[in-house]
Amino acid sequence: MKSTIRTLLLSVATLGPTASAAQDDAFFLMSGAQIDCIAKNVDSYLSSSEETLFIRPGDCGSERTGETISFMEMTLNAAPDIRIAEEQNIPDEVVVLTREDLACIARQSLPEVASLIAFYPDGCRVVVRAP
């Protein structure tokens, strides 16, 4: 059941420019500063009681650091944006991370300088997309 819910949430979250055909290849793009901020503030995000967290990486480092958004907040009264982005190398506005994913990010040795990083939840790995 948990796997089915994660697959559904990843499917919804990856409707944007980084969508992948296979679940194992699903990833989220974040700037180096965003993923570093999330890693440094993992405890703030883990204070949520939810197992799956919807996070706006762009809010990290502001007064909204540690805040999550609800699935309903993301979908209520809004049609999905299914446009294909011209530029494929832009950070995702919302990422869907489990508590395990956050722990994984916190354990990573993140590059000191990277403008764009792909985080692959399945396999717990980060890949520098743009130095």
Tens digit of pLDDT for each residue in 32-50? 999 999 999 999 999 989 9
- Alpha-carbon span 78 to 115, nearest angstrom: 30
Task: Give domain limits for the chain.
Answer: 2-130
- Alpha-carbon span 80 to 19, nearest angstrom: 14
Tens digit of pLDDT for each residue in 54-86? 999 999 989 988 888 877 766 655 565 555 555
More confident residue, 24 or 50: 50
First to last CA, the chain: 38
Residue 123: other Cβ atoms inside 10 A: 9
